[in-house]
Amino acid sequence: MKRSSNGFTLLELIIVCALIGIMLVVSVPSLHNAFVDDQLKATCRKIIGLVGGVRELAVRENQPYFLFIDRNENSIWYEKDTESEDEEKAEGRQIINLPGGVRVSEIWTRSEGEYSDDQNRIWINRKGYMDQTVMHLSDDNSNIISLHFSPFMDSVRLYDRYTQAN
């Protein structure tokens, strides 16, 4: 009787499944911490998405917008620039409430320098351009992430430390 060697034995399949299971048990908690539990990085992703969305909205609607950062309320939102045109403010505005342990520690723009007020606004023109802006986010564990927003491109540079603008 000739034996075929074209397949895997049951023992080989059980060993491979056991190794995959062991790797998952070891890696899933660290992946969970990296992607879900890190509030500072998750907040950075939300802010980058909001700023990019507002810049696209300004271009699409040919309308300037303000991006508001309220350090007391720990929130960020946007509204149309109603001073430039006689339109009503947008009813449905997207507000990002920062998690309890995360806060905007400092904001700097090329034209204004460092903002010292508790409520700041950044103007985004109808072409989606904004002033060069650096936003520093920190958490309760003294971790800092610096977001550098480019004035003309929709790119953002992230640094895992406190950095100054170029």
Predicted confidence (pLDDT) per residue in 79-130, tens digit? 998 765 545 544 446 788 888 888 888 888 888 888 777 778 889 999 999 9
Rounded Cα distance between 59 and 125, Å, is 8
For domain 37-81+94-159, the CATH architecture is 3-Layer(bab) Sandwich (3.55)
Question: Which of 39-48, 64-73, 114-123 has the least mean pLDDT?
Answer: 114-123
DSSP 76: E
Rounded Cα distance between 7 and 13, Å, is 10
Q: Which of 45, 87, 51, 48 is nearest to 66 (CA)?
A: 51
The whole-model pTM stands at: 0.70
- Going from the C-alpha of 23 to that of each of 15, 31, 36, 97, 148, the distances in angstroms are 12, 12, 19, 36, 37
Pairing state between β 75-80 and 95-97 = antiparallel
